[in-house]
Amino acid sequence: MHSSDTNFPLSRHLLYSYAPDWICTVVFSAAFLSLETIDGFRREFSVEDQAISHPYAVHERVPNFALYMVCLVAPFILQAAVNYWTVRSFWDSHNSSLGLVLALALTGSITQVTKVTVGRPRPDLLDRCQPPPGLSDPEYKLFDSSICTQTNLRIMRDGFRSFPSGHSSMSFAGLGFFAFYLAGKVHLFDRRGTAPKAWVSLTPFIGAALVAISRTMDYRHHWQDVLVGSVLGTIMAYFSYRLYYPPLTSKHSHQPYAPRGSIPLEPDYGDDEAEELLPHHSRRNSWEEHRQDGTNESSVVPGTVRRGEAAHLEEYWRDSRETSQHPPRVSTDRGDQRV
């Protein structure tokens, strides 16, 4: 029988195939965290603008700690539970965890870059700024942040990061990924699609929507900020999900994509005496059960589904160059010509 030492080199080889994905995830996460302390662009504003005259909420309905529990910790635990209740696959657990973290890292970094470059004032900016009493707009001009008497630099810096909503984008990225994960497990779009499966799959989006709505209740964001953040998070969630799972319409939507590495044509069944007494075809039955229709038996890990075949980028580029330099000739003969 297999020993842990025998399986370890193979597992390590397959896990190493995901090293670029984990490295990118770490890089995007570092970018997200580092941009938090950058003093970005600050737009000019009017002290008579009612859209930015709302009160500053000291206590948020969904603070940052609660946000990370909602968008990261809860989906991670729930995905592990769903994996245990359904496929019980190591690669499903690995791919779902990697996809979730990647979705959040991509969303967070894009959100932060946009925030510090756009510099849109929050709805509570004037309460943060605390301009001198009796100040009014000059004719044909706007004020900048130099008029503010606020001494807390963190509050002022955060006051110009309204677009897009980070709470909205992160909650839709984390819970959105979990929603797609659930949809794949229950085969939402198969021929037996039912309303209960749709409700199960869409429930995480309800939680994400509540987080997004709370940002307008706290006057932290304008409705446009929340809308764009929600769309951004959903797009990144689906993008990350499709990197590691087949389409939701696939008959294998409950399975993760196979690792990018390869496995031997015939696994080592060991030299156990009892197993040696069995016919050769019987010893291969468990292996045969995991093969997918139309796949190469030398590269499909049990419990996964093969990715679409793809050539190297150099081959794609070379074929494109050759096609553009030597376009196929179009025949000028017409079969419908009459004599």
Helical H runs in the chain? 4-16, 19-34, 64-68, 74-85, 90-118, 125-129, 153-158, 166-185, 195-217, 223-244, 273-276, 280-283, 285-288, 313-325
Q: What is the DSSP string of 225-251?
A: HHHHHHHHHHHHHHHHHHHHS--TTST
Residue 52 to residue 196: CA distance in whole angstroms: 42
**Active-site entry in 167, 187, 222, 254:** 167
Q: How many CB atoms lie within 10 A of CB 67?
A: 18
Concerning whether 221 is annotated as a catalytic residue, the answer is: yes
Concerning whether 167 is annotated as a catalytic residue, the answer is: yes
Here the tokens at position 4 are 């842990």
Q: Helix 195-217 to helix 166-185 angle, to the nearest 10 degrees?
A: 170
For residue 281, count CB atoms less than 10 angstroms from its CB and return exposed for 0-12, middle for 13-18, buried for 19 or more.
exposed
Q: Between the CA atoms of 148, 153, 154 and 159, what dihedral angle is there, to the nearest 10 degrees?
A: 20
**Active-site entry in 54, 187, 221, 252:** 221
Here the tokens at position 154 are 């963190």
305 strand-pairing partners: 257
Q: Which of 74, 109, 17, 63 is nearest to 204 (CA)?
A: 74
Q: Tell me if 235 sits within 8 A of 229, measured CB to CB.
A: no
Q: Tell me if 198 sits within 8 A of 64, measured CB to CB.
A: no
Instruction: List, by residue number, the catalytic residues.
Output: 167, 221
